[in-house]
């Protein structure tokens, strides 16, 4: 009987090894370990053995049964894993197919530049001031030390609505209005907005464009404060290794007036096509607020002083992104707009 | 202003500086040098030639074969210029020369005849055509007989020179003269000035015996002087004078006119020469013109004058428009023997008005407009007299005919050195300050801790303390200004709540797939009110540049549609744009239009397009509506938001809704009218415009969180059959009102209209969610609430429960 058991064991192990899928193996389990299988038969047949041999034989059968079961379980989990793997293989996809696009738009490049500048100055304690695009001659010119008859305010250069009302030619009237409203109190503002000039639209001119200006008024505001502020701006906007230089210039609303150049961000100052081989790029105009402008807004120009600066986001965007024609900003070609999607730096 | 560095160095020592370095120093000190122009353009091998012989080319009518002595040899050159002739000294570009246009001169054969170089015009040497003397404008240039064959022509023509082009700001009119530039350069380089020579012998006759002068408009013309020079010979000016004028951008004419222009460039004082005999009356009267009075000017144009135009007359008729242009009747000509040289101070505003009215801007009017130096009026006249004696053989009559009521007092400025340093944030010593004032040739006195400064009259821009601060700073060097930041009470900066919300609106719309557009505010009459939410009287330009840009817009939609049309015409299959911008309505009390910030969006083409998965969907009304709903949710107004059918011109009559917040109309959303779509060649296009200012200014409730409940909610669906016209929004409102406290959410999940329905009916299915945050609801409570809803639907909307 022992030999019979041994033979049976060999036979089952062989069948287990030979089964190639879960179903076959289950058949083996049912055939050999089931209630009607040969091992059960063997146990049933033990009644014929002498009583003293029965425990020994019973134990032997159980050992074989456990041994076979262990092998079978191991084989079963192997085959099951194989079956799953086959199934998953059938479910495989072409991972190189394009994903479902997440369609998003983006800021207009001018807004991108304006917000970057706004945020930079907000970080230095500035507020954003806005004002009307249709302005009174007084705020656009007179309050800025451009009295009637001043050559810089020729009718030819402005869009007048009536003798006293025009489309603002710069965002400076927002400064004049803010000064008037603040009644002698300190000021720290940035004024972005649309402005208008009588120009024929071409690659470098646009009858409508954008400006962003800054104004600081307080006790003992010095020209060195202007220079320091502009340097911080230049480094944050155009890179930490930017240098600035001031050149004397003229604006009716500031005295002294300056123009600020930055060292070329493309060539670093060696000279290239962006900086027209000079190593410097003109970025903005600035100056100390003219005492006439302060006095007209009710500030005592002997006690308080201030600085102002102004620049064109179009020019900055053109320089930064290499845009060659200002009209691109107003055509709204999606092939243009969509290029200002991603982050920088 | 074009400044020949050679000419400049006659008045100030430029220390042998390379003109480029000199230009850089001038720029850094405040006058921008826009360009450094090498007049030689690097030319070599361009020499004087002597035309020994000229014969016609046998094969070509218009060509001549010339034998030209070029110093080392006599060589054959073919020349096509009509004015070439034997016996002339000419400009010869020899083989190997490269001319300014890039032309390389080589030996060549022209119709079988050898040509060893080219006989040149001035234009071919890089001189602008408008500057070439008329006699040589259409041919080669003929050099004086004294020119030596074989020598380089560059020094002869003043082309061995570098010109600085100054970009002058309006305040620096003092630099509109060579002397003014010399003062500036002298200050920069700490060099002294050399003044032009005035040296002539006066005749025994007196100028006042020849000419009577009267000024009847002293306000417009506070100073007028005249010199009389007789026995002059009108001829070509010497070459040095001609090429200096050309370098300065002035065309040479004859010696008399050239001298007045030369002194204009030298002193910045415009002069005018009259032919004394042609004046006829021995009299000059300056007065305002009579309205409608006429004069024929030097350019042979008849001009009609106004009563505010200042004229010079001979007592009978105008002979010049003061400061603007002379008259043809008194012009100097080849036979002129006696001239009157006018030097005057005409007031800027008067000249500006006159030159504008006649659309005549000249070197003279530009200088008068900005104000000439009162102290140079006489100096310039004397210099001109001296040059006429020297170069035209003139005899200068004794004395000057003069009316002078001009105030020549210099401006006085008192400033403390501390004030200068405080404003600059610097510590410049008093010695450095006074040294700068000396270099600038400003009169000053330092006393009582103050500087008492008298600005020279040539610097009319110096009036107040700040002007002195600028002078000191620019001469000291802006590079020396330290960098500091304002010292002040520190206050946080930031956006206003409106500005912050506007940024969120942009970010939301871009996240939803729309690109931000910026379009023009000016539009045509036709478009100004099209699609407008609200119309009001328009704001119109007085002098528009074109009809298309003549009126301020009252809606953002027309220009956005233009952008959509532009993109669609260029194969864009989806265009989704939004714009935030102002519209301009009517007039406020201040006289300005009411500026209202609006938001508009336009979508056209495909919305979903994931083609390989077969998903495609064109934009429709509900895509855009969903964007608006999401926006109002973002801004905290979704519970007040409703849409109501409405009608707007140009929009689809069945697919237009007004957008309302708490019952108040704040916008419109619609499909573009199919005829408008067709006109623009667009597919279905949807538009939306909101009064953004009104939305952003609306108060929003504070944000508090509602506890997330542990208790389950219960959902019941209802399917209803209603009349087709019944708006689902109305049904939803009935459900919401009748559902009571426990009804938390209603959502439409099915809509069917079609064959399977009775005609005129549609099926609508809603899902209703009941919920109590404090406990689990019983069936009975839900059934009660739900029955109330069903009853209300049946009673108020005639809805039948389906299935
Ligand atoms: Zn560069």
Cα-based angle B159, B161, B162 (whole degrees, multiple of 5) = 125
CA distance to partner chain B, nearest, from residue A209 (Å): 9
Whether A155 has a pLDDT exceeding 60, the answer reads no
Tokens (6 digits) for B505: 């609106």
pLDDT tens, residue by residue, B317-330: 999 999 999 999 99
Is the distance from CB of B537 to CB of B551 less than 8 angstroms?
no
State which residue of chain B sits closest to A119, comparing Cα positions: B494
3-state secondary structure chain A: CHHHHHHHHHHHHHHHHHCCCHHHHHHHHHHHHCCCCHHHHHHHHHHHCCCCCHHHHHHHHHHHHHHHHHHHHHHHHHHHHHHHHHHHHHCCCCCCCCCCCCCCCCCCHHHHHHHHHHHHHHCCCCEECCCCCEEEHHHHCHHHCCCCCCHHHCHHHCCEEECCEEECCCCHHHHHHHHHHHCCCCEEEEEEEEEECCCCCCCCCCCEEEEEEEEEEEECCCHHHHHHHHHHHHHHHHCCCCCEEEEEEEECCEEEEEEEEEECCCCCCCCCCCCCCCCEEEEEEEEEECHHHHHHCCCCCCCEEEEEEEECHHHHHHHHHCCCCCCHHHHCCHHHHCCCCCCCC
What is the CATH number assigned to the segment(s) B497-697?
A: 3.30.930.10
The model's confidence at residue B706, banded by pLDDT at 50, 70 and 90, is confident
What is the CATH number assigned to the segment(s) B2-39+162-189?
A: 3.30.56.10
Provide the CA A58 distance to its chain's centre, in angstroms. 76
pLDDT tens, residue by residue, B246-285: 999 999 999 999 999 999 999 999 999 999 999 999 999 9
Would you call A98 an interface residue with chain B, using a CB distance cutoff of 8 Å? yes
Of B29, B516, B567, the CB nearest to A107: B516
Would you call B612 an interface residue with chain A, using a CB distance cutoff of 8 Å? yes
Whether B181 has a pLDDT exceeding 60, the answer reads yes
The model's confidence at residue B683, banded by pLDDT at 50, 70 and 90, is very high
**Do the domains B2-39+162-189 and B412-477 sit in the same CATH topology, yes or no?**
yes
Q: How far is the CA of B522 from the centre of ligand 1 (A)?
A: 37
CB contact under 8 A, B493 and A255: no
Cα-based angle B77, B79, B84 (whole degrees, multiple of 5) = 110
- Exposed, middle or buried by CB within 10 Å (0-12, 13-18, 19+), for B105? buried
The model's confidence at residue B714, banded by pLDDT at 50, 70 and 90, is very high
Whether B754 has a pLDDT exceeding 90, the answer reads no
Which one of B308, B475, B485, B568 would you mutate to disrupt binding with A, by most A Cβ within 10 Å of its Cβ? B485
Provide the CA B218 distance to its chain's centre, in angstroms. 36
Chain B residues closer than 8 Å to A155 by CB: 543
The model's confidence at residue B557, banded by pLDDT at 50, 70 and 90, is very high
Q: How far is the CA of A241 from the centre of ligand 1 (A)?
A: 14
pLDDT of residue A135: 97
Mean pLDDT, residues B673-688: 96
pLDDT of residue B223: 96
CATH topology of domain B714-801: Alpha-Beta Plaits (3.30.70)
Backbone angles phi, psi at B277, to 5 degrees: -65, -35
pLDDT of residue B175: 95
Length of chain A: 345
* C-alpha span between A341 and B1 (Å, rounded): 45
State which residue of chain A sits closest to B169, comparing Cα positions: A250
pLDDT of residue B472: 96
Q: How far is the CA of A277 from the centre of ligand 1 (A)?
A: 6
Mean pLDDT, residues B120-129: 92
Q: Which of A30, A24, A32 is nearest to A68 (CA)?
A: A32
Whether A45 has a pLDDT exceeding 80, the answer reads no
CB contact under 8 A, A105 and B349: no
CA distance to partner chain A, nearest, from residue B251 (Å): 27
Would you call A133 an interface residue with chain B, using a CB distance cutoff of 8 Å? yes
CATH entry, B202-404, from 3.40.50.150, 3.10.520.10, 3.50.40.10, 2.60.40.10: 3.50.40.10
Domain ranges of chain B: 2-39+162-189, 46-156, 202-404, 412-477, 497-697, 714-801
Could you tell me which residues are beta bridge partners of residue B48?
Answer: B91
CA distance to partner chain A, nearest, from residue B364 (Å): 16
Q: Domain B46-156: what homologous superfamily?
A: Nucleic acid-binding proteins (2.40.50.140)
| Domain B412-477 is found in CATH 3.90.1010.20 | no
């Amino acid at each position: 009987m022992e030999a019979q058991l041994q033979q049976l064991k060999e036979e089952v192990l062989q069948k287990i090894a030979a089964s190639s899928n879960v179903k076959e193996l289950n058949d083996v389990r049912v055939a050999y370990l089931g209630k009607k299988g040969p091992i059960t038969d063997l146990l049933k047949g033990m009644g014929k053995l002498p009583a003293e041999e029965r425990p020994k034989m019973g134990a032997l059968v159980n050992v074989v049964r456990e041994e076979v079961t262990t092998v079978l379980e191991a084989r079963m989990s192997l085959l099951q894993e194989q079956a799953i793997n086959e199934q998953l293989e059938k479910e495989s996809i072409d991972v190189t197919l394009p994903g479902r696009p997440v369609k998003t738009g983006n800021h207009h490049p001018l807004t991108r530049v304006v917000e970057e500048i706004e945020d930079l100055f907000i970080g230095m304690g500035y507020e954003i001031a806005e004002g009307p695009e249709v302005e009174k001659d007084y705020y656009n010119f007179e309050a800025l030390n451009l009295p009637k008859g001043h050559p810089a305010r020729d009718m030819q250069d402005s869009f007048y609505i009536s003798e006293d009302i025009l489309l603002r030619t710069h965002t400076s009237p927002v400064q004049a209005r803010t000064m008037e409203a603040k009644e002698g109190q300190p000021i720290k503002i940035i004024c972005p907005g649309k402005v208008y000039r009588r120009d024929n639209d071409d690659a470098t001119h646009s009858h409508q464009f954008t400006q962003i200006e800054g104004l600081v008024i307080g006790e003992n505001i010095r020209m060195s404060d202007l220079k320091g502020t502009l340097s911080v701006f230049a480094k944050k906007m155009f890179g930490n290794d930017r240098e600035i230089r001031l050149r004397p210039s003229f604006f009716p609303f500031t005295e002294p007036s300056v123009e600020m150049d930055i060292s070329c961000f493309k060539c670093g100052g060696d000279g290239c096509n962006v900086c027209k081989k000079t190593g410097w790029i003109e970025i903005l105009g600035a100056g100390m607020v003219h005492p006439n402008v302060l006095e007209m807004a009710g500030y005592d120009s002997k006690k308080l002083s201030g600085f102002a600066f102004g620049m064109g986001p179009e020019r900055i965007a053109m320089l930064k992104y290499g845009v060659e024609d200002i009209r691109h900003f107003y055509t709204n070609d999606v092939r243009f707009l969509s290029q200002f999607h991603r982050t920088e730096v | 202003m074009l400044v020949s560095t050679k000419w400049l160095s006659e008045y100030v020592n430029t220390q042998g500086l390379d003109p480029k370095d000199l230009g850089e120093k001038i720029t850094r000190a405040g006058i921008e040098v826009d360009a450094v122009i090498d007049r030689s353009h690097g030319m070599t091998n361009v020499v004087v030639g002597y035309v020994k012989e000229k014969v016609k080319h046998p094969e070509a009518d218009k060509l001549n074969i010339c034998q030209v002595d070029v110093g080392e040899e006599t060589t054959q050159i073919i020349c096509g210029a009509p004015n070439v002739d034997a016996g002339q000294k000419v400009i010869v570009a020899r083989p190997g020369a490269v001319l300014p246009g890039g032309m390389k001169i080589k030996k060549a054969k022209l119709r079988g005849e050898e040509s060893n170089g080219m006989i040149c015009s001035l234009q071919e040497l890089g001189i602008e055509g408008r500057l070439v003397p008329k006699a040589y404008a259409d041919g080669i240039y003929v050099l004086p007989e004294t020119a030596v064959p074989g020598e380089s022509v560059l020094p002869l023509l003043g082309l061995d020179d570098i010109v600085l082009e100054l970009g002058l700001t309006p305040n620096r009119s003092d630099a509109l003269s060579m002397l003014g530039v010399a003062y500036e350069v002298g200050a920069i380089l700490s060099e002294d000035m050399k003044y032009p020579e005035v040296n002539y012998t006066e005749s025994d006759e007196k100028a006042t015996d020849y000419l009577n002068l009267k000024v009847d408009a002293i306000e417009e013309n506070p100073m007028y002087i005249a010199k009389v020079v007789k026995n002059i010979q009108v001829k070509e000016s010497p070459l040095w004078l001609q090429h200096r004028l050309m370098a300065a951008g002035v065309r040479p004419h004859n010696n008399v006119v050239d001298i007045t222009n030369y002194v204009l460039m030298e002193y910045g004082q415009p002069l005018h020469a009259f032919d004394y005999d042609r004046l006829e009356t021995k009299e000059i009267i300056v007065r305002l013109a009579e309205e409608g009075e006429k004069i024929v000017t030097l350019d042979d144009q008849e001009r009609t004058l106004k009563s505010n135009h200042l004229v010079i007359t001979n007592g009978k008729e105008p002979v010049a428009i003061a400061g603007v242009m002379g008259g043809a009747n008194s012009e100097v000509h080849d036979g002129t023997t006696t001239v009157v040289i006018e030097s005057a101070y005409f007031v800027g505003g008067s000249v500006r008005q006159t030159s504008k009215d006649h659309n005549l801007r000249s070197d003279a009017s530009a200088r008068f407009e900005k104000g000439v130096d009162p102290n140079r009026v006489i100096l310039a006249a004397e210099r001109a007299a001296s040059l006429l004696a020297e170069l035209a053989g003139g005899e200068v009559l004794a004395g000057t005919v003069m009316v002078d009521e001009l105030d020549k007092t210099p401006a006085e400025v008192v400033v403390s050195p501390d004030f200068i340093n405080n404003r600059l944030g610097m510590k410049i010593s008093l010695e450095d300050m006074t040294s700068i004032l000396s270099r600038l040739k400003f009169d000053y006195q330092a006393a009582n801790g103050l500087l008492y400064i008298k600005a020279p009259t040539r610097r009319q821009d110096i009036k107040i303390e700040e002007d002195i601060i600028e002078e000191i700073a620019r001469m000291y060097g802006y590079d020396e200004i330290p960098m500091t930041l304002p010292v002040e009470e520190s206050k946080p900066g930031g956006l206003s709540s409106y500005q912050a919300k506007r940024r969120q609106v942009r970010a939301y719309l871009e996240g939803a797939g729309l690109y931000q557009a910026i379009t023009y505010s000016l539009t045509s009459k036709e478009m100004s009110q099209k699609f407008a939410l609200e119309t009001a009287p328009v704001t119109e330009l007085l002098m528009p540049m074109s009809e298309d840009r003549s009126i301020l817009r009252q809606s953002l939609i027309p220009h956005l549609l233009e952008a959509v049309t532009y993109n669609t015409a260029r194969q864009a299959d989806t265009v989704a744009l939004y714009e935030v911008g102002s519209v301009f309505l009517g007039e406020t009390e201040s006289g300005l239009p009411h500026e209202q910030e609006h938001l508009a969006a336009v979508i056209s083409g495909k919305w979903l397009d994931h083609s390989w998965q077969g998903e495609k969907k064109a934009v429709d009304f509900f895509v855009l509506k969903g964007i608006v709903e999401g926006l109002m949710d973002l801004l905290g107004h979704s519970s007040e938001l409703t849409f109501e059918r409405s009608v707007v011109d140009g929009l689809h009559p069945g697919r237009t809704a007004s957008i309302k917040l708490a019952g108040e109309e704040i916008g419109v959303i619609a499909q573009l009218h199919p005829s408008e779509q067709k006109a623009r060649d667009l597919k279905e296009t949807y538009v939306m415009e909101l009064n953004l200012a009104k939305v952003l200014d609306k108060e929003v409730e504070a944000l508090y969180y509602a506890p997330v409940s542990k208790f389950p909610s219960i959902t019941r669906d209802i399917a209803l059959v209603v009349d087709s016209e019944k708006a689902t929004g109305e049904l939803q409102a009935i459900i919401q009102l009748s559902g009571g406290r426990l009804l938390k959410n209603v959502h439409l999940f099915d809509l069917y209209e079609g064959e399977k329905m009775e005609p005129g009916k549609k099926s609508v299915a809603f899902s209703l969610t009941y919920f109590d945050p404090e406990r689990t609801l019983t069936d009975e409570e839900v059934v009660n609430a739900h029955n109330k809803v069903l009853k209300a639907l049946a009673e108020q909307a005639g809805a039948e429960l389906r299935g």
